[in-house]
Structure 1
Amino acid sequence: MSSTTTDTTTDATTCGFPGCTQPPSRRETGGRPPAYCDDDSHNAQTAFRERARLAKHGPPRRPDAPVTQAAASVRSLATRMAEELNNHVAGVADLADAAITALVTYSDRESFEVELQRAALEHQREIVAANEELQSQRERTDALLTEIADQRARADLAVAEQAALADRLDKATRNLEELRAALDSIRQQNAEETARANAEARRAEELEQAVLAANRAAEDRAAERDRANADRDAADAAADAERTRSAEAIERAEGLIARADAAAEDERARAAAAADRADAAVAAADRRVDAAEQRAASAIDNANEVARAAEARADAAERRADDAERRRADAERRTDAAAERYREELAAMGAIIDQLRSDADKSDTEP
């Protein structure tokens, strides 16, 4: 039995496009060897269209042999389907190789662990930086507390100086009281001396009156009158001397009192100034203590915030790692499902080709 077929097959050493005699491309694709030449228009789709065109417009078949023509058509179609299936399988194999390579890279446990370790290391570095910042804040707080202790010590020293000044002021006050008592004693003595001088003066006056009386009574007692005058002059001189000594004593006492008052006033002023300085130092120390406590609290809050942020980033990194693991598992499942579907399609297409070939063989054996 004769048959007419259209030869659309090509040599394995030439391009798979019908009628092209160029060798296949030497470009590396990472999968099956290329089946077409370097011409970009020669590929599986254009080759299929060219074969369909040749099959449609091929040489005329004998009208008196429809079964033979049908068998030839079946064989030609089976051959083309086999070629298309091979090309499709090659493309699917290339895609599967690329997908497997990407999946291997994506599912590389070592790379995933390295990335996770890098995230953990970054988290650890952030925690170390936060701890260092907290330690620095603590050191600054300790320095401030030391300075506050020094300020308090100086304030205590100022208070002690104020107490010493108060003691000196008390001593000066006691000395002033003693001086005042001495002045009162001197004044009392002066008063007594003045009283005695006045008494002497009165006696002198009485003597003068007696002398006058004696003079009036008897002029011959002139000598006695002269003695009385002399006594009166002596009494006057003594009274004047007593008055002079009293005045000098009073002046000395008043000078001592003035100096004592000035010294007491100076002591009071120095004590007041020392008290003011001590109060100012205590107030400044209290303000610095408050500021230091506020800065320490702020530093602790900042350190806690940094630690919380670092923990949040670590949690986010762990969540991203979990998401990556889930995506990797999903990709594996999708890849397995796609491979299974491709295998099923290939098996179905192989069964169809086998059935077509079987039908073609049966038609060849029929009379």
Structure 2
Amino acid sequence: MPDIRDRVDILEDQIPREFLVMLLVDHTTGKNILWATDIGGHNEHDSIQIEDIVGENGLVLRPRVRKSDEEKRLRTKKRAEVFTPSWVCNEQLNAADSLWFFGSAAPSSGSPFNSPIMGKRWKVTDDDILRKTFEETGKSWEQYVLDDRIEMCCGEGPYLTSRYDVVTERVIPLKQRIGILDRKLRVVNTFVGVDSKATKKEWADWIIKAYKHTYGFEWQGDNLVLTREALLYTLIDNLKAYNLNKLIKNNKGSIRTLLNKIDEIDFDGLYLEDYEYIKTVCHIISWNFWQMDGLTACPPYTKPSIKLNALVAAINKPKTRDLFGNIIPLEIPLEYCKLMDWDENKVTTYVEVYASAIKDRSHEC
């Protein structure tokens, strides 16, 4: 019998069905994401259905740390699947943040989030240090949250959110988490959290912005579902912590009862209005974390009508105009993976974003 309080392997039976529906959708194909792997007797070309992962099939989706050594070996051999320990993710992300804050990725620049210590661990900095770093570097905390960041070939998303160490199974407390999204959420909690003058709505709006500006893609469908679930539960962990800390601050409720609730893996500790909010974020997760072959920018097993490099070149060519001087838009083939441009509130494609990044980089050289 699986333990419903398991903090590592999220059980799909514990996720409301309406959330699961959103976590399985592929916005490019209009269907559910593909298995793209042969676990559980499923054909890799089949789409993942809710019935495939709940009830008697509730243990089909398992994080790598819970898979057998043989299964890990086969997945590494077939898909080059390897997972990075959290301490390594942390040091790499610290270097990226040092570059963002100080213009240098050198370890001596330090990180405003934590300091690595012996034993492959890290010590979290005080919130005052985080605030001071933004102030002294002239950086805006809002811009940090709005900065677009992506984990490519994300697997189970260890660089995105670190609810537990994907190698050791060690559960990581909320404030000690080191992923890309974790850091953005910590910034939000520091500047507009319970201890600030901001309202819960202001806090919630910035949490949404953090999700909208964090991305990832993955080939294997089971890994993508695990990533999406981890992102969902990261939201719930933060919602629970906010609600608990707000109640403590207002001196309401039994602290013992609240502490018991906050430590559960189910959806206790949330308010009724939180559920609609979670649905909104689930929708964002379903767009921002998608299934894709990184070599083609299309869903797995899809043969593009135009090769990626040729399409990128066509996108970046000077625009063609009609007789009236109007730009003739380039039609992107339908098989290319779709994304949502949240700032413009319109659908775009990964290849267009990729082409734009290449163009910007060429201008910098």
| TM-score (normalised: structure 1) | 0.20
Higher-strand-fraction structure: 2
Q: Which structure: larger Rg?
A: 1
Higher relative contact order (CA 8 A, sep 6+): 1
Higher-helix-fraction structure: 1
